[in-house]
Each structure stands twice: as structure tokens, then as C-alpha cells.
Amino acid sequence: MRIAEILRNKGTAVATVPPGTTVRALLGVLAEHNIGAVVVSPDGAAIDGIVSERDVVRRLHADGADLLDRPVTDIMTAQVRTCGPDDHVSSLRHVMTERRIRHMPVVQQDRLVGIVSIGDVVKSEITELAEERGHLVDYLQGRY
């Protein structure tokens, strides 16, 4: 299965915030959309970074409440790993697991076209395994 299939099922909407957004405002976006990470983007297409709940919690612990009024650029990951719509889900699962990445933007022709989470990847692989199991059961029971 390819990443494009995940995006067809879940949609291509990506929550983004501009670089000057405060951490406080970021928390509002995360809560409003019930998500764990947002892409930092000046225009919704280019990627400056990614920032997650984990980034906030870790820096809040280290820096205190003053962090809330600082820009997300102070805590975002600037070197963002991305994938493409034609990438295979199994290879993405490996990268996400090895590098402990929970959210990965999907880029096509240098433009943000979606985002996948580790949950999306696991769900797609479970679905694929269930379909394979169904085909094997049908074969074993002579339905082919």
C-alpha cells in the first residue's frame, strides 16, 4: 500500500501555523483540531518545521510558563523528515519506528499535500492484513 491510499481515506487537510505563532496559540490549534502536531508553514505549502505536544511539554518543563508567549519557531523541529504519496507504507512504518517519529508531512513537488501519523500507518497495515487473511480463508475454503 502507498501513502496516497492513506490520504485518500483520511483526507489531505493539514493543520498549519505561521512561524510567528505563539506556543499558547499553538496549543489552541492542537486542542481545536484534536491533533498531536502541526506543520509550521508561512503559506500552507512550504514547510519551515513541525511542532508537537511532546515538544511543548518537554520545553515547558525546562523553560517554565514563559514558553507560552514565545514563538513556535523556538521549539519546533526544523529539519523535518517527509515522505511522498508514492512511498510505501511499510517503509514509512520502519522509518517512523526507528526514528521515533509520530507525524510525517507528505510532500509532492515541494508542496505540503498531507500528513500521516503512526496511527494512520498502523491502521492501514491492520486493514491490509485483514484483507489478506480474508483472501486466504476464502482460498482455503475453496471459494476461488
- The structural domains of the chain, with segments of one domain joined by +, span 3-140
Q: Which residues contact 12 (CB under 8 A, 6 or more apart)?
A: 113, 114
Residue 35 pLDDT: 95
Query: Which burial class, exposed, middle or buried, applies to 9 when counting CB atoms under 10 A from its CB (0-12, 13-18, 19+)?
Result: exposed
Task: For residue range 80-108, list pLDDT tens digits in order.
Answer: 999 999 999 999 999 999 999 999 999 99
Total-model pTM: 0.86
Residue 44 pLDDT: 94
Residue 128 pLDDT: 81
CATH superfamily of 3-140: CBS-domain (3.10.580.10)
Task: For residue range 8-30, list pLDDT tens digits in order.
Answer: 999 999 999 999 999 999 999 99
Residue 124 pLDDT: 87
Contact 45, 106 (CB under 8 A): no
Rg over alpha carbons for the chain, rounded to the nearest Å, is: 18
Task: For residue range 26-79, list pLDDT tens digits in order.
Answer: 999 999 999 999 999 999 999 999 999 999 999 998 899 999 999 999 999 999
Task: For residue range 101-142, list pLDDT tens digits in order.
Answer: 999 999 999 999 999 999 999 998 888 887 778 778 878 887
Residue 142 pLDDT: 79
Residue 143 has pLDDT above 80, yes or no: no
